[in-house]
Amino acid sequence: MSRSWWREPRTALRAGLFLLAALAAPAAAQERLPSLTIDPDKVSVSGISSGAFMANQLHVAHSELIMGAGLVAGGLYGCAAVSIDSEDGTLDGSVSRALDRCMAARPPPDKAEVYRDRAAAFAEAGWIDPLDGLAGDKVYLFTGRADETVSHVTVERGADVYAGLGIAAEDIALESFREEPPAPGSEAGHSWVTEDCCQPCATTGPPFINDCDYDQSGAILQHIYGPLAPKAEVLSGRFIDFDQRAFAPGGAAEVNGLDTTGTLYVPAACAAGEACALHVVLHGCQQTREVLGDAFYTSIGMNEWADSNRIVVLYPQAHSVTFTELTLAYPGRWFRNGFAVNPKGCWNWWGYAYDDRFAVKDGIQISAIYAMIQRLMGAAPD
């Protein structure tokens, strides 16, 4: 039986009160993102929906550092790019392509070879790390039967692309309702899947965290890192709210689709100086702190596994960019792709107006997240 308030009586009222409380809560004091003892061989990333596409971009772009990825309902490298300028790497992204071909698979995405060759061309140009950095990496992908937002075709094509880029079959875990027998939690809607939070398994809708009697966070971490100690019953560490403006161009976080505040979970052992792994978790659309408060990063079950296994968890935060913010920041600018806003706080995987390098190393959001990782590893100055 679920313990979640989302499934108790008067669900709508409770949900409304929860959201109002989250929005009304005063912002926590920001701290400097600390430098910790991070094992450079144990840096990984996961995400859901737009966060899965961004996690995939971050993994492929920085494969020399990132050794594993978990992609929930998303992830197909460079799928939204309509054309690429071979001289400077400018990507002409398309929101209609992202929504139709990449997410709904109408028409289906291109064959895996197209995306493999695109990544190879980017690597050859030096826009992403050499592809041999992917060898030996662990990749987890998940698609649910009731997910009508991102098609299973996209997720399965993403697995094919990773295989084409040299990742061994045994290192790719594809959890799909099309397996025989179906994978655990495979009846899920478009959501991060948990054992007991927050709404019925087949639901698609906020907060996009579903009770499917399946511990997806544990499955991701154990596929990437191997056998782990049992998850903690009580957290030993603490959450740190840090200033993301330090990692945005000119400190302009919001106009570049980044919230001013991100969150870090540091287990007590890691705070005490022990060598720890680092896992970056990227929320999906409508899962930002602006919408859910702390619900995403406290409800998906990631911190409990991290706490008992010396894993620091970084939760960067996107921001819902408005047209007003963009026009004030870029007066008189013509926006190339006609889609100048990010109304749902998604990560930039199809080329919002503020970035036409979104899928390569110098993309604004990829650069920001990578700089956060470098700071945690003690490799980036203030």
Tokens of 377: 């590893």
Q: Is the peptide bond before 207 cis (omega within 30 degrees of 0)?
A: yes
Note the helical H segments in the chain. Answer: 11-24, 50-61, 95-97, 112-125, 152-164, 216-225, 268-271, 289-292, 295-299, 302-308, 323-329, 364-376
Question: String of b and e for 6-23 (b: at least 16 CB within 10 Å)?
Answer: bbeeeeeeebeebbeeee
Strand partners, 84: 91
Active site residues: 49, 147, 190
Are the C-beta atoms of residues 52 and 71 closer than 8 Å to each other?
Answer: yes
Residue located via tokens 């161009």:
249
Tokens of 371: 């700089």
CA 289: distance to chain centroid?
14
